[in-house]
Structure 1
Amino acid sequence: MFHEAAEAAEVVRRQLTANQAVVTALAADLRASHPRGVLTCARGSSDHAALFGKYLIETRLGVLTTSAAPSIASVYGAAADLTGMLAIGISQSGKSPDILAAMRAARQGGARTAALVNTAESPLAEEVDTFLPLHAGAEISVAATKSYIASLAGLLHLVGEWAGDGELLEALHGAPALLEAAWAADWTPMVDQLEHAQGLYVIGRGLGFGIAQEAALKFKETCGLHAEAFSAAEVRHGPMALVGRDFPLLVFRQGDETADGVDELVADVLARGGDVLVSGGSVPGAIQLPHPAAHPAIEPMLQIQAFYRAVNALSLRRGFDPDRPPLLAKVTETL
């Protein structure tokens, strides 16, 4: 896990160059066809990347984006009219039967299909109209790292070209160097704080919510630590009842329109005597976790890269083997 996560900067650098022509062509087609909506099909870490993509597409393009429930096609055998839609499948292996079924149903329902897949010879890569390779290389660790970051980069690349957003594209092409800096960021305070923790909430909002979901999954997979991800807006409801000295928060905060609300939540939890670890912002009393300054849409990718190194260290500190999570396999073939 450690060595694969460390490769993320080079993966993104390679992907941006190798995929430029196909991304440019797909983006031009999408600008011409004006899809009425986007459907994402994914599971696990890939679905967390899809959630990032939802916020990115809706804020940058104004196109309604929703996550497919794969069982609608794979278990119920139901179909929907998806004429004029774009369906995006995201998968490391491209083999899961339920994702394949959902993408087949989308195509049969009239959608244009595209897939971000790491394994080029996979069934999913072969079935879609447009294949966007992740170019992450072999990923042996059960816990996905570089393939997740590659998925974020692929979505950023497509949306940047589709929207004609030169500022975003410039920031993305500078991301590999920033990923290298993020990998060197010192998140030892998180490892120290959570060494004996029994549980925590992981908080994000907007573009950062999918990153929070990914971090919560990695705590479970590699550290035997129960973590739940919540939007900064949703945690103020019932979940806040658990927050306190023995139930910390890890907060991912990017410098966009959500920043003030996230800062208010951090200050509120601190006022109640809770412990808060936060990447981004500068609320007094919070434990700061550094990441390189960047465009707000790039920040979440840098934060999760810094997190991967820290969670690997936390796994070892808690006596686990991050490369061999119990009861898990690299490829999960759900129906």
Structure 2
Amino acid sequence: MSLMKKEAQEAPQVVARFLAQNRGALSELGARLRTHPPSVILTAARGSSDHAATYFKYLVEILLGVPCASVGASVASVWHSKLKLNNAVCVTISQSGQSPDILALQEAARKAGALTIALVNQPDSPAQKGADFFLPLSAGPEKSVAATKSFIASLVAGAAIAGHWADDKALLDALENLPARLEEAAKIQWPSFVTGAAKAQSLYVLGRGPGLAIANECALKMKETCGLHAEALSFAEVMHGPLELVRPGFPVLAFSPNDASRSAAHDVLARIRSIGAEVHAVEDGGMEFVGAGHAMLDPISMVQSAYLNVEALAQKLGRNPDHPKQLSKVTETV
């Protein structure tokens, strides 16, 4: 068994542990955000962590109406710009908590007056030490280059922050039940997708809103572990220039949770199917997925299944998903 598969299968236990260990801190943070609501949120993250930040962005904007944006870390680490962040929150998301540019942005945000929150897996990291609030992801050691369980923990952390801030009982109740749902999601197989993608040179991965974060992450994992060119797009953006590249047989993996975006997503998929594309839609009535008990959490159960099917795709292509040729576990950018 690859480390990627083993670690992805640990995600349900990681989620249960994160929620148990951070229950008090999440309640305190939610109360702080309700009594001192920020006017804007910025996120500091790279790679998979930035995809988790995208998921958090959509939850905060949908549930609370507060703008949330990923700020280029280089404005602090390279250009040394002075940020203006009164009444702002900065959320750092990182597996290692060590990348110099992310740390520079976190420190610049703190000096500019922002409340800083760190979601980090590595204990005693510099990111933890520079934050006002620290929520350990509690994923344990992650040895595969392709992050899986720490990413799912980051998604849950973002959902928990949004849920406690909004005092959304339905979302918080669904989070408590999520580990059991993820256990089921880890059993899902998508053989038609694995077979089709194994023959492809390129494919699209589609999503929208919280589902776009999962599309971004799944495309990255196919690049990392399968050496396959996979481009993530929103259902809206694919209808512009990218649609021209779709041909008969062109593979498309689509994440379509049962949320407000679903009707428009179906219209897009109908157009893509009319061209003759090979569409693999993860949705009710499509490729199997396990509902998470709340539409905002469905993308988390979807990525749990996706990780294991991408791992199967890498194996089918004869690649070792734990050892990409050009990558290392910790990437420290400036």
Q: TM-score range by the shorter chain?
A: over 0.9
The residue number in structure 1 matching 2:242 is 239
Residue 289 of structure 2, aligned match among 288, 291, 308: 291
The residue number in structure 1 matching 2:216 is 213
How many Å apart are 1:245 and its aligned residue? 2.1
**1:182-213 deviation line (CA, Å, top 9, x unaligned):** 00012122111111110001000011001000
Secondary structure of the residue aligned to 1:171 is helix
Q: Does 1:170 align with 2:169?
A: no
Q: Tell me, yes or no, if the aligned pair for 1:197 and 1:246 is still in contact at 8 Å.
A: no
Secondary structure of the residue aligned to 1:174 is helix
AA partner of residue 291 (structure 2): A
Q: Does 1:36 align with 2:35?
A: no
Sequence identity, in percent? 47
Find the aligned partners of 2:115 and 2:333 in 1 and give their Cα distance: 24
AA partner of residue 327 (structure 2): L
AA partner of residue 309 (structure 1): L
- Superposed CA RMSD in Å reads 0.8
1:1-335 alignment runs, 5 A limit: 1-282=4-285, 288-294=286-292, 295-335=294-334
Q: Tell me, yes or no, if the aligned pair for 1:35 and 1:86 is still in contact at 8 Å.
A: yes
AA partner of residue 179 (structure 2): P
Secondary structure of the residue aligned to 2:254 is strand
How many Å apart are 1:133 and its aligned residue? 0.4
AA partner of residue 324 (structure 2): P
AA partner of residue 72 (structure 1): V
- TM-score, structure 1 length as denominator? 0.97
Greater mean alpha carbon deviation, residues 41-50 or residues 119-128:
119-128
AA partner of residue 290 (structure 2): P
Aligned residues: 330
Find the aligned partners of 1:109 and 1:141 in 2 and give their Cα distance: 36
Unmatched segments (≥5 aa) in structure 2: none
**1:148-185 deviation line (CA, Å, top 9, x unaligned):** 00000001111101000000011111110000000001
How many Å apart are 1:268 and its aligned residue? 1.2
Find the aligned partners of 1:199 and 1:166 in 2 and give their Cα distance: 42
How many Å apart are 1:274 and its aligned residue? 1.1
Find the aligned partners of 2:29 and 2:140 in 1 and give their Cα distance: 23
How many Å apart are 1:48 and its aligned residue? 0.3
Q: Tell me, yes or no, if the aligned pair for 1:263 and 1:281 is still in contact at 8 Å.
A: no
How many Å apart are 1:266 and its aligned residue? 1.1
Find the aligned partners of 1:202 and 1:23 in 2 and give their Cα distance: 33
Find the aligned partners of 1:121 and 1:260 in 2 and give their Cα distance: 45
Find the aligned partners of 2:284 and 2:271 in 1 and give their Cα distance: 14
Find the aligned partners of 1:45 and 1:245 in 2 and give their Cα distance: 31
Find the aligned partners of 1:99 and 1:124 in 2 and give their Cα distance: 8
Greater mean alpha carbon deviation, residues 139-148 or residues 272-281:
272-281
Find the aligned partners of 1:185 and 1:47 in 2 and give their Cα distance: 26
Unmatched segments (≥5 aa) in structure 1: 283-287
How many Å apart are 1:293 and its aligned residue? 2.2
Find the aligned partners of 2:56 and 2:248 in 1 and give their Cα distance: 34
Q: Tell me, yes or no, if the aligned pair for 2:250 and 2:276 is still in contact at 8 Å.
A: no
Secondary structure of the residue aligned to 1:138 is coil
Q: Tell me, yes or no, if the aligned pair for 1:196 and 1:318 is still in contact at 8 Å.
A: no
How many Å apart are 1:231 and its aligned residue? 0.5
AA partner of residue 68 (structure 2): T
- TM-score, structure 2 length as denominator? 0.98
How many Å apart are 1:278 and its aligned residue? 0.7
The residue number in structure 2 matching 1:285 is none
Q: Tell me, yes or no, if the aligned pair for 1:27 and 1:162 is still in contact at 8 Å.
A: yes
